[in-house]
Amino acid sequence: MTRRIVNVSVIPGELLDGSGRVCIHLFIQDEQGPFVEMHVLHPVYEDGKRVKQRLEVKPTRGRLVCSLTRTVAPITRGGVTKVTLRTDDPRAVTCLKCLATKECKEILEEVALTEQFGARDTRQEEVQDGSSVGTPN
């Protein structure tokens, strides 16, 4: 039998017995970013207007909000695979460094407003629908 061990970072102060909350970073689009996510949801536009209820998936360059240079490919050493969990849904973020950034706070405010008043067609920011991106392995 082959055992696979996946190492997932836990946020500071959480238990290390498997019950602690894991560290989930916020992924944002950035043309200068250090990696490309293959499956990022984007709104669909026709004639300059956003088409409601339609999203498309495309590879998208970006970065973690808490780092300009960190990459996210799983790294395996000595039978242990270390993964970097990330999401484009700010409500799912637990990384304390990501949460402390101005960008993350702005995106969270945007999401809160959208939930309060419904999706606005004029939005320039692309806050993507719910799902996490790049499920490792």
Contact residues for Zn ion, defined by CB under 5 A: 25, 66, 95, 97-98
Distance CA 130, CA 119 (A): 14
What one-letter code names the amino acid at 76?
A: T
Choose between 12 and 48: whose C-beta lies nearer to Zn ion.
12
Q: In whole angstroms, how close is the CB of 106 to Zn ion at the nearest point?
A: 16
Q: Which amino acid is at 25?
A: H
What residues form DSSP beta bridges with 84? none
Cβ closest to Zn ion, residue 40 vs residue 85 = 85
Q: What's the min distance (Å) between Cβ of 23 and Zn ion?
A: 7
What is the closest distance, in whole angstroms, from the C-beta atom of residue 93 to Zn ion in the complex?
A: 7
